[in-house]
Structure 1
Amino acid sequence: MSKLKNLTLRFIPLCLSLSVSLGGVAGAVTLEEAIQDIDISGILRYRYDTGRYKNENKIGFQNGSGLISSNQNHRWLGNLNFKANIDDNFKAFIQLRYGPTKEGGYGNSSSNITDTSKSLNVRQLYVEYNNPDYQTSVKAGKQQMDSIWTENYYDGLVATGLKITNTSLDGIMFQAYAYDSYNSDEQGGVGGDMGVYKDYNDPKSSYTQLPFYEKNLYGIAILGNHEILQGNLNSQLWLSYLSENVFFYALNLAYSYEFSENFSINLEGAYLGNTIQNDFEKKVDATNGNFFGAKAILYTYGFDINLGGVHYGDKNKYSITVLEDTGNLNVLGGQQIFYTDGSHLSGDRGENSFIYGGLGYTFDKVRIGADVAYGETKTGISGLGGEKLEFVGKVSYKYSPKLNFLAWYSHINIDTNDLSSASLDSKKNTVRFQTLYKF
């Protein structure tokens, strides 16, 4: 951590000097003025993860993308953000990242080391222009995509490109974007958050990253927030084109209504579809994707009760729903079930139908909850699909607005068939402890 601290302390004056120099193009500013115009934010995260399988061959978990598969690992992650005014209506943003590390906590493992060599990397770097008269902003450079097809928190997919945002209409935000490349070095590869595939007809085939991530992405979005029937309606309409491969479209509607101080309800539904083109269809043996999901949450006297379900995928061909991990979808349930074989939203072969529900209770700053998810994955391939059941227990403690603690346990059981068509249970147990600090 001393190396991280030294690098951080060296970078801050460098950032200040850069801000002063760029600002000096239009007019000289003092160092004191430059410091006042710099916003510093970020996150620090620690995770302790353990995942154990009942069967050594990991039937139902062989893809591995998104799964916690290692024993007793310590993982550290830090994002440090600097945002500076460099001229009238212009700002520069840079994000430095440390990690994520994977440090051993299991004595018999060859990875049982404490990583002190990982350095800071530039994760995001862009210039932002804001025009208050037209309520329009433009971001150009390496930036987190923040779309319905990617994660929108501190670990989402980063792309190099341009995003234009306009909020001139009350309650409506318009976006247009174009991206050239993605941070597959961080999010991609086998076991990463980006989609992978294999030829199940070839016994020697292994998982490979989907080929379309090397193509450009163009799109628009219309995001709305309105008061309707004394409740709040949040709407999202997304359209994107991944050059020569896939045309994406998505609609998400979320409605919340407060009956009284101790009784409220949230309803949300999502549809994500896509039409594939010849290049992708031929390379991956894929078909068009369709995802339907809905979820309802009831809040009353400290309790929260949720119920939902999803249907997506194709049992005979590959299909995709999102570009990274599970995207920015709030209609999902369970914890690890969407990372099992045949069920990956980032690309998989399997027709999936799941229902789920949960119950939680919050007192003061602590929430205790339990969730269950059940469904089936049909693949047309012996040993790949099957009935799936997941139980999840969670405890979270919101110590302050900036500091949160989380612990959860997941048990998954997959009832599938081996090559002789005999019933086979495959089980996985997972534990995570997490500390997250935001500043």
Structure 2
Amino acid sequence: MKFIKLSLAASVALGALSTASFAQPLEEAIKGIDVSGYLRYRYNDDRYDNGNGDVSGSSANHQWRAVADFKTPVVNNVALGLGVWYQNSNNVNHGKGVVDANNGQFAQPGTANAFLGSGLGSGSDGQFGVREFYATITPDSTATTIKLGKQLLDTPVTNAADGDRGTGILALNSDIPNLTLAAAAFDSWAINEVNVNNNNGVISSAPNIGEETSVDKPLYALAGIYGIDTNYGRFGGQLWGFYVDDAVDALVFGELSWQGSLLRAKLQYSYAALNNDSDSVFYSLYGNGNTADKPKANISESNDAFVVEVGADFRNDYQLPLNVTLGYITNFADGTAVALEDEGSNVSRKGKIWWQNAGTGISTSALRGYGVQGFGTEQDIDVFYAGVDYSFIDERLNVGLEFAWGENDISSGNNNANNPLGIKKVEFTEITPTISWKHSKQLTLSAFYAFLNNSYDMVAPGASMDDRDRNRFRVEAKYSF
């Protein structure tokens, strides 16, 4: 056969002719496609006072995020979904400059890098990518939905709203009235706001660090979710079970709830057995036991959290836009690492930062570096929390106050570097006023200022530690479509 060599121009022309018959107007091509998402701006300012003028850990940044999800119409019981997003931040530390990698301190005024920032600003652009790409199958013969592909992880131990995702299969079935059964298997997964830094085994929460990182250990889940309306209110319950190969031997989340016209109540219990075998995720994160401050291998540690919460909403019975919540959190096992993401909803709470702050030493995420996973360390927590909010102007303006008081007792059997004195008690108080304004159906403006004070009691002769303030100011504008 004789091949004919074509010029680049001729090749392009022939290619255009060969595809012209498949072209169609844009309006026709996107007809029926559902589009949803949001545009969000945040200003986040963490203001730390460690005593003696030490403000290390303080930071401020502008954060931008855009999310768009596209869903095609169902054709022959199949629909396709595509989700894209953009995310970036600009570090603006108000004269503190960028972090010095050697000592973790911000550069001081008059020194090198004192007025530098990082991120978007006037520099290079940031993160853009595909967060979902899946097919949805809905057979006619059963009330079943099957999702295949890259999708958000909408579970009690992850946070789909912030982009936690996995690649695999999810099946939902509602053939039994009032009951939804779920089963899922993912061969890899990623937590957006907390990512593993493989260089030094430290967990990073910076918005632009390591977001391409995923965990290639299979994750499996089973769940049953039940809810029924009665003359005495709505009764609900859910039970989830998770297994992560070479990381979580078992993770269980259970909840019982009741919602009346005025009052409501909720009980939650979470349990996790974390695996620290030599080929596990936690072994690679926290060491091989060669030093005193690292957990030993071949340990499976227990973590749990128990929550009881009551509340009242006065809208229905008294036409008063007032909502009140009271709750208590404690644990019985060695640690409180009962989720893959702090923002996961498996532990109800009030307050904005105490539950994900190194100052209190409390984290429900197994991936947070400062949380207690039970590897050579035991933790006992008692936290009381409350929240109240009131709405004005046709409920478009909402003001609230959140409060948390807690105690965290940490004891170590091996005097590790994170707890050199063996026992540490932290008492903390967080008071957070909040405000939000629903400017329109799509646009909401909100802000809060979290005041968190930590008081330390180190059990050792002559030991002392200054109180530490961990405050956060946040302003957010979110447009949903």
> How high is the TM-score relative to the length of structure 2?
0.72
Q: Equivalent residues in 2 for 1:242-257 (5 A)?
A: 242-246=244-248, 247-257=250-260
Quick check: 1:90 aligned with 2:78?
yes
Q: What is the CA distance between 1:353 and its match in structure 2?
A: 1.3
1:45 paired to 2:40: yes
Question: What pairs up with 1:13-52 in 2 under 5 angstroms?
Answer: 34-52=29-47
Which range moves more in the overlay, 28-37 or 107-116?
A: 28-37
Question: Which residue in the other structure is 1:111 paired with?
Answer: 117
Given the alignment of the two structures, is residue 351 of structure 1 paired with residue 380 of structure 2, yes or no? yes
- Note if contact 1:96-1:120 (Cα within 8 Å) is conserved in structure 2: yes
Tell me if the contact between 2:134 and 2:148 (Cα under 8 Å) persists in the aligned partners.
Answer: yes
Q: Is the 8 A contact 1:375 1:389 kept in 2?
A: yes
Give the structure with the larger strand fraction. 1
Residue type of the alignment partner of 2:183 = A
Q: How does 1:23-422 map to 2 (within 5 A)?
A: 34-55=29-50, 69-71=58-60, 73-85=61-73, 87-104=75-92, 106-107=94-95, 109=97, 110-111=116-117, 113-114=121-122, 117-118=125-126, 120-153=128-161, 155-184=162-191, 187-189=194-196, 196=203, 213-246=215-248, 247-258=250-261, 264-277=262-275, 279=277, 283=283, 285=295, 287-300=301-314, 301-312=320-331, 320-329=337-346, 331-341=348-358, 342-347=361-366, 348-349=371-372, 350-363=379-392, 364=394, 365-380=396-411, 381=419, 382=421, 385-417=425-457, 420-422=462-464
Range that drifts further, 324-333 or 386-395:
324-333
User: Percent identity, aligned pairs only?
Assistant: 25
SS at match of 1:269: strand
Q: Call closer, same or farther: CA 1:311–1:52 in 2, change over 3 Å.
A: same
Partner Cα distance (2:434, 2:139) in 1: 44
Aligned CA distance change for structure 1 residues 417 and 214 (closer, same or farther; 3 Å)? farther
> Does 2:454 align with 1:428?
no
- Structure with bigger RCO (C-alpha 8 Å, 6+ apart): 1
Q: Do the aligned partners of 1:377 and 1:385 also contact (CA within 8 Å) in 2?
A: yes
Distance 2:403 2:128 in 1: 39
Asked if 1 retains the 8 angstrom alpha-carbon contact of 2:247 and 2:282, the reply is no
Name which of structure 1's ranges 340-349 and 28-37 shifts more when overlaid on structure 2.
Answer: 28-37
Identify if the C-alpha distance between structure 1 residues 195 and 141 changes in structure 2 by more than 3 Å, giving closer, same or farther: farther
In the aligned structure 2, how far is the partner of 1:389 from the partner of 1:185?
28
**Equivalent position amino acid for 1:267 in 2:** A
1:430 partner letter:
R
Q: CA deviation at 1:167?
A: 1.3
Q: In structure 1, what residue type is equivalent to 2:388?
A: L
Q: Which residue of 2 aligns with 1:5?
A: none
C-alpha displacement at 1:40, in angstroms? 1.0
How far did 1:147 drift?
0.5
Partner secondary structure for residue 305 of structure 1: strand
- Partner Cα distance (1:123, 1:322) in 2: 21
Gap regions ≥5 residues in structure 1: 1-20, 198-207, 259-263
Aligned to 2:207: none
- Deviation at residue 393 of structure 1 after TM alignment: 0.5
Cα distance in 1 for residues equivalent to 2:88 and 2:475: 15
Match of 1:4 in 2: none
Q: Deviations over 1:136-184 (max 9, x none)?
A: 111111111101101142x141111110111112211111000111225
Q: Kindly state the Cα deviation for residue 101 of structure 1 after the two structures are TM-superposed.
A: 2.4
Question: Cα RMSD between the aligned structures?
Answer: 3.3
Residues in 2 aligned to 1:29 and 1:180: alpha-carbon distance in whole angstroms: 38
Do 2:166 and 2:189's aligned partners in 1 also have CA atoms closer than 8 Å? yes
Which has the larger Rg? 2
Pair 1:267–1:90, CA change in 2 (3 A): same
Q: Is the 8 A contact 1:90 1:129 kept in 2?
A: yes
Does the Cα contact within 8 Å between 2:135 and 2:148 map onto a contact in 1?
A: yes
Distance 1:129 1:371 in 2: 43
**Structure 1 residues 326 and 185, CA, compared in 2 at 3 Å: closer, same or farther?**
closer
The superposition leaves residues 347-380 of structure 1 with CA deviations (integer Å, 9 ceiling, x where unpaired) of 3223221001122211121111112101111112
Q: Is the 8 A contact 1:212 1:242 kept in 2?
A: no
**How far apart, CA to CA, are the structure 1 residues paired with 2:388 and 2:96?**
38
Q: Residue 11 of structure 1 aligns with which residue?
A: none
Residues 1:52 and 1:278: Cα distance change in structure 2 (over 3 Å): closer
Secondary structure at the counterpart of residue 336 of structure 1 = coil
* Letter matched to residue 59 of structure 2: S
Does the 8 A contact of 2:433 with 2:450 survive in 1? yes
With over 3 angstroms needed to count, the CA separation of the structure-2 counterparts of 1:149 and 1:437, relative to structure 1, is same
